[in-house]
Amino acid sequence: MKNLFTIILVTLILNGFAQTAQDYLNLGIEKHNNQDYKGALREYNKAIVKDKKLTVAYYNRGVVKIQINNYEGALEDLTEVIKLDENYVDAYYNRAFAYVKLEEYKKAKKDLDKVIDLDNTFPNALTLRGQLFIMQGDAENGCRDFQNAKQNGDAEADQLIKQYCNDLELGGEMMMLDWPDSEDWKLANSQETDQMMMVELLRNNETFENWTEIGTMQSIKGATNIPMEKAMKLMVDQAKETCPDAEINFIEKDETTEYPWILFEINCISYSDTKEPESQLYYLVQGKSSLYVNFRAIKEPMIDDATKTKWIEFFKSGKVLNQ
């Protein structure tokens, strides 16, 4: 009887100190906040064992799995959250993020649509959906999402607008060029005055000191009705100030379209200020409110035919958008 009493007594004592699902959840949150992800997972697991309908435990566990790059596991947990609460906005957003990491873009887009349907001021969802639109070649909707995200406080959206939309205020005109993610373009510099706005992009983590290829988008505000050959001459004259022997090659133009444009290249063996070769391919577009000056350049005395063809196709894919 003594042994039996001891076992019963110990059981009663343990039951008196038994932790609840909420206790485990709180421990998990504490460890999660301290970036002890393994410890947080253990506590969230215990919370779910105690209460299989504890939505926040599934959600938090899904977030931890994203943070440790277990995207498949995160999808399972976040899907369970949505089963328990079909209006759990953050679960849809984080599941969309996991889908993006797994390159399941259609599923990600569907979840982001749901997020924005539930909360159309969710800035991160607008920014992420805008990037998916850009990937699909839908610049108009992508730039609109970036603008809405910017208005709702997402600082990243401002950089994306400058990179992809040649930033002008919502309701105005913008030049859109889709700088390929596969080429690892990053915004390197942007500046704006009352007269102009300029964005410079670099590739492969290069800097202005060691770049091998650069992209530039410039809006000259208020410059309208300028003949394309005159606009080209302005660029050529500027180049010849530091490279008098620059070689100029006209490529193509169309002044009959709604937004007239011209393509040409400037090749220089050595600029006087840098003592280096540089070749530039220009794409000038006359908008309704601005002249858009875009070019790509490499530090070579000329642009090879394959690169030139690729750049021409890239520029011709650009659009002037009106919101």
CB atoms within 10 A of CB 309: 11
Q: Domain for residue 163, yes or no?
A: no
3-state SS, residue 121: coil
Q: Domain for residue 167, yes or no?
A: no
Residue 52's domain spans which residues?
A: 15-119
Residues 178 and 318 in one domain: yes
pLDDT of residue 284: 98
Q: Domain for residue 144, yes or no?
A: no
Q: For the chain, how many structural domains are there in total?
A: 2
Distance of CA 219 to the CA centre of its chain: 21
Q: What is the mean pLDDT of each run of 10 residues along the chain (323 residues)?
A: 38 51 92 94 94 94 96 97 96 96 93 96 94 80 90 87 64 78 83 85 90 94 94 95 95 96 96 91 95 96 96 93 68
3-state SS, residue 187: strand
pLDDT of residue 137: 66
Q: From CA 182, how far away is CA 310, in angstroms rounded? A: 14
Residue 172 is encoded by which pair of tokens?
Answer: 């105005």
- CA dist list (Å): 281 to 55, 146, 165, 198, 205: 55, 28, 20, 17, 22
User: Residue 88: which CATH number?
Assistant: 1.25.40.10
Q: From CA 164, how far away is CA 321, in angstroms rounded? A: 12
Residues 191 and 107 in one domain: no
pLDDT of residue 12: 34
Residues 310 and 234 in one domain: yes
Report the number of secondary-structure helices (H) and strands (E) in the chain.
12, 9
Residues 297 and 210 in one domain: yes
Q: Domain for residue 240, yes or no?
A: yes
Model confidence, pTM: 0.61
